[in-house]
Chains A and B, each alone.
Chain A
């Protein structure tokens, strides 16, 4: 598997593993997050914007979780979260927000809007284990 496959719109892995959609405008962070999820045996699609995430969600029915960065140009992770939760088709998909900044008001706002969790970057494998044991069957 090469990192390029987890770039602007790449799929890693296969089979029946849960499918996680990772959204981050940073190519470095996408690569690391995809690597962590892959090592935890998840199927990963990594995209670089909220817009691309919504396009994929429109065509890919089997996303088990969305992990999105908070600060992204054009559409923030919070705005993506709102769109997902407003959609009758998508609202049941758990959404996790990541940020490099620990801003309590930001965290509360995301959780109030329906985010399952808020992670501080950099993401670690232990974050993934904790999240997924709680959220995925």
Chain B
């Protein structure tokens, strides 16, 4: 499943860098970082959504919020979501309201898909871990 996340472009090499930091001292590091990301990105997207409504054509504000979201995406290797964030920022730079709105919808979609895929991935890992422990105990 992990390979498909990379092959389909949802994740990039930065995710591997994060995985490499997981060790015996921090056995759940990756899942903890991803949990932080999903929580933080949800909050940032909510801020952007409110800003799009409350501050019409405030491209500087919109861009500043999206820059934060893009930064989080880069940190965990959320590649497709990062690309949609960049499209949004391009539209801000062009003063293109419709472009921003379209791009934001794409950001939200990519976030939802990535959340679902990562949650499935960690569920599989947990099941594999439980199976491995059960197998070792049987032996």
Contact = CB atoms under 8 A, between A and B. Distances in A.
Interface stretch (A24-32, A50-58, A59-67, A76-84): A24-32
Q: How large is the interface on A (under 10, 10 to 19, 20 to 34, 35 or more residues)?
A: 20 to 34
B75 A29 contact: yes
B40 A27 contact: yes
B72 A28 contact: yes
Contacts of A129: none
Contact of A3 (B17, B36, B70, B76): B36
Contact of B71 (A3, A26, A39): A26
B67 A100 contact: yes
B18 interface: yes
Contacts of B128: none
A29 B17 CA distance: 13
Contacts of B14: 122
Interface in A6-35: 26-29, 31-32, 35
B87 to A, nearest CB: 16
A38 interface: yes
B67 A71 contact: yes
Nearest to A120: B74
Contacts of B70: 100
B119 interface: no
Contact of B33 (A35, A39, A71, A124): A35
B7 interface: no
Interface string B52-82: 0000000000000001101110111000000
